[in-house]
Amino acid sequence: MKLRPLVLDEAADELIGLLKKHAEENPFDTNEIMGIMCGDAPAAGDRNGFSCDFHRGYRAVFTYERHPGGWSRHISVSVDTPGKMPNSTAVDVIMEKFGFKHKIGDGPAIEDGKLAIYQEDDNDPPAINVIEFLNDDEIEQLGFPKEAPEDVN
């Protein structure tokens, strides 16, 4: 199997910084996530400021989200070839650049509910999605409220 190389240079680091800042300033609450899931609101990747394209055809969509289980960071990584998935090593490197503490193969984090991984096959190209729940220090540093989310409408 031929792997697509990942090139993250200074320009990519700058894009990642801008995307992270935008996501921090525009977190998704539980109602917004439900709207996306129900098709009532556009997905983050279809909105300005939540995605970036890297050399060699990689694309990342990044958000901070409030789920019933707490605040999380969410990344979706795809490549520009229909029907093809990004390789897991490249996804791990991109995740690290966005501040993820765990890797895709981190079984204990998955078992503890700190990390969720799923594949979106209904998109073309398909994407690998990773949701990692934030700890209290990260929530405080980002300035997100710690109280429980409001009831979903």
pLDDT, tens digit, for every residue of 90-116?
Answer: 999 999 999 999 998 777 677 777 888
Q: Which domain holds residue 39?
A: 10-142
- For the chain, how many structural domains are there in total? 1
Beta strands in the chain (DSSP E): 51-53, 58-67, 70-79, 115-120, 127-133
pLDDT in tens, 21-56: 999 999 999 999 999 989 899 989 899 999 999 988
Residue 148: pLDDT above 90?
no
Domain membership flag for residue 30: yes
Higher pLDDT, 45 or 59: 59
Catalogue the long-range contacts made by 104-109 (C-beta closer than 8 Å, 24 or more residues apart).
104/128, 104/130
Residue 83: pLDDT above 70?
yes
> Which residues face 74 on adjacent strands?
63, 131
The confidence score (pLDDT) of residue 14 equals: 95
Confidence of residue 1 (pLDDT cuts 50, 70, 90): low
Domain membership flag for residue 65: yes
CA-to-CA distance for 59 and 51, rounded, in angstroms?
7
Widest CA span in the chain: 47
> Which residues face 3 on adjacent strands?
none
Residues 60-67, mean pLDDT to the nearest whole number: 95
Domain membership flag for residue 3: no
